[in-house]
Structure formats: C-alpha cells, structure tokens
Amino acid sequence: MVLVGTLVGLEIPLLIRLLKFSLDLKELVARVLALDYIGALLASLIFPLVLLPRLGIHRTSLLFGLLNALVALCATWLLPLERQLVWRLRAQCAVVAAALVFLLVFVERGVLQAESAYYGAPIIHTEQSPYQRIVLTQSGATTRLFLNGNLQFSSDDERRYHETLVHPAVAALGREPRLALILGGGDGLAARELLHYRGLERIVLVDLDEAVTRIFRSVPTLLRLNGGALADARVQIVTADAYRYLEEAREAFDLVIADFPDPSNYAVGKLYTLSFYELVRQRLGVRGVAVVQATSPYYARESFWSIVATIEAAGFKVLPMHVYVPSFGEWGFVLCGGEGIEQPARLRPGPSALAYLDAQTLAALFHFPADMSRVPAPVNRLSDQQLVATYVREWGRWAR
C-alpha cells in the first residue's frame, strides 16, 4: 500500500516535468490536475457500478492494469522522449499488456482452484453478483454457502440455527402466523421452517441480492435443502433493500424475521439500528412478534447486547436467546414484541419432526450462563453505528 501510494503521488510531478518545455507552467499544472481529477472521478464511478458487478474483483483489477499499460504505451507517442528510450518503453508496455491479457483470459480458472483450496471442498457454484461473491461448496453430504468468503450456513447443522430462528417466535406469537415477513433469508431455509404451519397464508421474503434467491430456486442440491420453499405459491419474493422496503410498506405482519449477515460494515449495520427496529415495530400487527439474528453472545458479547439494547430502545420487550451451532459456536437471537410477549413454554403443533428443538431445548435457549450474561452496551443509531466498530473489534480478537 505504501508503494502504491508513493507511485500515485509521483504521477503528477513526473508528468509536469516531462511536459514543462511544451506548455506554460500555469497552464500545464491546470491541465494535468484537471485530467487527473476527471480520470479519478470516472474510475471511481465505473469500478463499483459497472465493472465489479460484471467482471468480479480479479478481472476488474487486471482490466485496470491493462488500461494503465495501454495509456503508458500511448504516452510514448505524446511525450518528448529520446528515440532509443521510446522503443524500450514501448516494448516493456507491450510485454506487460500481453501478460495482463493472458491473465484476464485464464484468471477465473486459477481463482476457482485457489478458492477450492481455501474453502477445503469442491466448489459446485460460484458467482459474482452486484453485491457479493457467492460460493457454494459440497463435500460428501455437506453443502456450505459462503458470501464474500464468510460462511453463511452448513447443511450439517443449519437446522439448529433455522429452527431456533423461527419456531420459538411462532410459539411466542400464540397462534399460527397468517402473514409473515422475512428480511434477508434469501436461501429459503427460514421460509422452509415457516411453511410447516398450515394456517400460514403468505410469506413476503425481501432480499437485496436477486442472485441468491435465483440459485436457491434453481440448483438441485439447494432445492433439496430448502424443500423448494422459494417456489411455494405462498412465498412472494421481493428484491429490494430491507430498510427501504419497510419505509414504503403498509401491510401489518403477524411475524417479522430479520435474518441478515452480521453487522461487519456500515451498509449492513444500518439494518441493526434504532431507526430500523422502529420501522419493524410499525409493520407488526396487534400482538405481533419479531425475531432478529444477533451474532454470537460469546465471541461478540458486547455486540450482541448492543443489539438487544437497540431493540429495547425501539419500544420492544425482548427475550434474548442463544443456541450452539457447531459451524459457528454459540449464536444469538433476539425474540421481541409488545409488553404482552412471554417466554414460550412449548412449541406450537405444526412441524412434523424437528431436528433439534423440543420442550427441553426450547427452555435452554433463554438461559444465559455468566460468560454470556448481559453487559453494558450502547444503542446503535444510524447517525453513529457504534455497533460496527464494536463488532469488528470483538471478532478481530478471535482472528489473531
């Protein structure tokens, strides 16, 4: 990074020195700076909006390198340089450009091999969406989903996670939900659990990334995993930002499930803010219930209780939960609703056979041992998003 910054800093003085005999210094500086600023503006817009979603990070990086090599080659015709130096520079530019073209053609094959080694299992699907890199691996009977290199679920133990996410909330509701809202959850696994309830009339599933919902409706391995939930007539898929959807929605839901990635950056962090949970509260019907994925109360203890405090500040009564998921360790959720919500004592009839939850494990979800008990934590507001910094700091300790 220091080397790149140094070379970028040398670019403008070098151009000014090369062209100092062709133009007046005042005009020269103005032209060079104007072109530099215009180029930087165009690159900053084209990179994230056009190239990255279509080509991915590796090909986009190589393409920009190729463009720089071609610009350098063109500059040998424009700059007043010695003839011998010109031909040497042109040869060097040509070699670099040829190497970059070769890498552009074959980079994806190399990336797949590297990713297979990184993930430790054969890759059955990989895709770069406008929002993230999606990788699916399969080893034996185990299927795993990775988004931007982070594990989202493993088929070995995902039922522990999704049963805990869905069924205690339905039990706390006290009746089968008629209309449910799933925010995130584009894999259809939470929807699969909800569809066990015959009284359910409709699920609105809101996910930002159309690529995720598409592959979980089309890849046979994933269809077996989610039971074809996303193709069920009762499931309405909306491709939209969850925050904006809640701002514009007018329906009242019996049950809201927020199943987002952890708040590791500000783009996701806004979905864990006070203003977001206030929007959730507005969309809940009378005696409605919500449940939120809330990271690990063990590995990110302050972050978990910050989410709890933020939900409380939005006017909810909270019932924190946790479950052990082998792929992740101890994982936390926040069940919440109006003042009348109570810790459920039993599950509602509906699911024919749950892999993990029963009366005993249901009660254990709500018991927090001393090393996961509540600690002081700030309310996460949209104006500061303290949760993101806390989350990065806490998980960073475990990554060392």
The reply to whether 259 belongs to the active site is yes
Q: Identify the residue whose tokens are 């190497």.
A: 99
Q: Please check whether residue 64 is in contact with residue 104, taking contact to mean a CB–CB distance below 8 angstroms.
A: no
Q: Please check whether residue 391 is in contact with residue 262, taking contact to mean a CB–CB distance below 8 angstroms.
A: yes
Tokens of 335: 């069940």
Interatomic CA distance for residues 141 and 139, integer angstroms? 6
Interatomic CA distance for residues 341 and 344, integer angstroms? 9
Tokens of 363: 């009660």
- Side by side, the strands of the sheet bearing 150-154 are 123-128, 133-139, 142-147, 150-154
Q: Please check whether residue 198 is in contact with residue 118, taking contact to mean a CB–CB distance below 8 angstroms.
A: no
First to last CA, the chain: 21
The residues, any chain, with a CB within 8 Å of residue 366's CB and separated by 6 or more, are 319, 320, 321, 343
Q: Identify the residue whose tokens are 């670019």.
A: 11
3-state DSSP of 132-172: CEEEEEEECCEEEEEECCEEEEECCCHHHHHHHHHHHHHHH
The residue annotated as part of the active site, out of 187, 209, 259, 262, is 259
Q: Please check whether residue 375 is in contact with residue 305, taking contact to mean a CB–CB distance below 8 angstroms.
A: yes
CA distances from 100 to 60, 66, 95, 254, 398 (A): 11, 6, 9, 55, 37
Backbone angles phi, psi at 250, to 5 degrees: -125, -10
Q: Is the dihedral of CA 120, 124, 128, 132 positive or negative?
A: negative
Backbone angles phi, psi at 196, to 5 degrees: -65, -25
3-state DSSP assignment of residue 319: strand
Backbone angles phi, psi at 123, to 5 degrees: -90, 125
In the chain, the amino acid numbered 146 is F
Residues assigned a catalytic role: 259
